[in-house]
Amino acid sequence: MPDLIPTVQGNHASMKILVTGSAGHLGEALARTLLNLQHEVVGLDILESPFTTRVGSILHRSCVRRCMSGVQVVFHPATLHKPHLATHHRQDFVDTNISGTLNLLEEAVEAGVESFVYTSTTSVSGDALLRPAGAPAAWITEDVTPLPKNIYGATKAAAEDIRLHIPGRALALNGEAGNCCRALNACMSTSVLETNLGGCHDTT
C-alpha cells in the first residue's frame, strides 16, 4: 500500500479515497490505515460503522455515483464471500460481486478516478490450488487458468474479467495504477447484500 497510497508529507497531497465494505474486516482496516496516512476516506457500506461515512449499496448506481464525487482512488473489497454460500442464493452473488463491481467501475470512469484496486480471492483458482502429484505445493501465478469450485469463486473471477473490458482512459485498470489482489480474501460483514436500501446517506 505505501507505494500506491503514500503518507501525506513533503510533496504528497492528501487524496480522497473510496473504500467499499467499510464495516467489514478488510474494509475497516483499509479505512483506518488510510486515515492514519492522513487521507480523506469515503467509507461505503450497507451497515453503519465507525469507518462508514455513507450508508448505501453498490447495487444502486445513484449511490455509487454520489460516493465517487471527487474521489481519486477506489479500494473495492465489498463482496459476498464463501461463508455466504450457506445463506444466500446464487443470484445474490451475481448481483453483488459482478453487477456491483460493474457499477463501481463504470462510475469510476465517469468520475475520472485515477486508480481502482479490486480485491479478489484465492477461491478464483479453485481446483488449480490442488497440489500436483509429487510436487510440494501448487504454484499459482497469473498464468494459471482459474478453476473455481463454487458461485463465489466464479463471480469473483468474472469480476476480474469485467475490469479488463471497461472503456475509458480516465481509469487505469492494468499496470501500476490498477490492481487486482487475489491474495487478499475480503472478509466482510455477514450481511453485505441489502435489496431494500434504495439510496445512501451520510453518517456524519
Instruction: Report the alpha-carbon distance of residue 188 to residue 178 in Å, rounded.
Output: 22
- Residue 71 contacts residue 113 (beta carbons within 8 Å): yes
Q: Phi and psi (nearest 5°) for 73?
A: -135, 140
Instruction: Report the alpha-carbon distance of residue 76 to residue 73 in Å, rounded.
Output: 10
Strands 16-20, 40-45: pairing kind = parallel
DSSP 3-state of 173 = coil
Catalytic sites, residue numbers: 152
- Neighbouring C-beta atoms of residue 138, cutoff 10 Å: 13
